[in-house]
Amino acid sequence: MKNLLFASLSLAVLIIFAGCNSLSTEQEKLFFETSDFGEPIFISIPGEGSKKRYDEIKANPKIVDRSFIPGVSYTVKDRTKDFNPKLMAFLKKEGYLSVEQLSQATTNRYGTNTKQHEFIFYTPKMEAQLVEKKDGFTGKKQRLMLAGKRILNAVDYTNKREENGRETLSITFSYHIVSVIQEIPDPSAIFEGEARAYLNPDNGNWQLANIKLKDNGYREIQNLMNP
């Protein structure tokens, strides 16, 4: 499913590129494939619970502790409240995940210690939508929900010039976002972007200086969720 989504989006980008005669293939790739523009749009979701731990608690809802440590009653924090309520309601309603709650009572000589546990489990539908990506800050791998992709409408303006002794190219462009979550329609907005690149005299390759995108990333899609 993910491969089909990416293939369809890539084909759409290639078709649009065919009309951008003012840019070379190298420049098109630099601005619209390897930059932030070409990065898929992801939604952060809660991590999945341990099925082994879930089964252990479910099989042993009441246990006896013969140690001398006093029991303390408490409730494990509701992990779903750490995430956007609208997002969580949508994911549960549309069958992307399930939330299971279990309690386990431990009794010892001082009393009973009751814990309320919450487990989040992904469904096959969610698994098909997940992409593994390395966190830019921690370096750890995380699983994110593939939500959308930016698609170029047109390059509206180009300006090639000499700047600080090197050849510089500035462009403005318009684009839209498509949703790859089947229950969510494509956002209707048309966005504007700006980018600038310069020709590296040492190797003859164009290098991206900066790119500015006017959309709100995953929020453009998350805001259309209907819980």
Position 82 scores a pLDDT of 67
Q: Which residues of 41-79 are buried (b: 16+ CB within 10 A; e: fewer)?
A: bbbebbeebeeeeeeebeeeeeeeeeeeeebeeeeeeeb
pLDDT (tens digit per residue) in 64-81 = 877 655 554 444 445 566
Q: What's 89's DSSP letter?
A: H
Residues in the chain with pLDDT values less than 70? 1-21, 67-82
**Residue 69: its pLDDT value, please?**
54
Tracing tokens 């001082």 back to the chain, one arrives at 110
Q: Report how far residue 106's alpha carbon sits from residue 94's, in angstroms, rounded to the nearest whole number.
A: 36
Q: What is the pTM of this model?
A: 0.78
Q: Measured on CA atoms in the order 55, 56, 57, 60, is the torsion positive or negative?
A: positive
* Domains parsed from the chain with CATH numbers: 2-44+147-222 (3.10.450), 51-125 (no CATH)
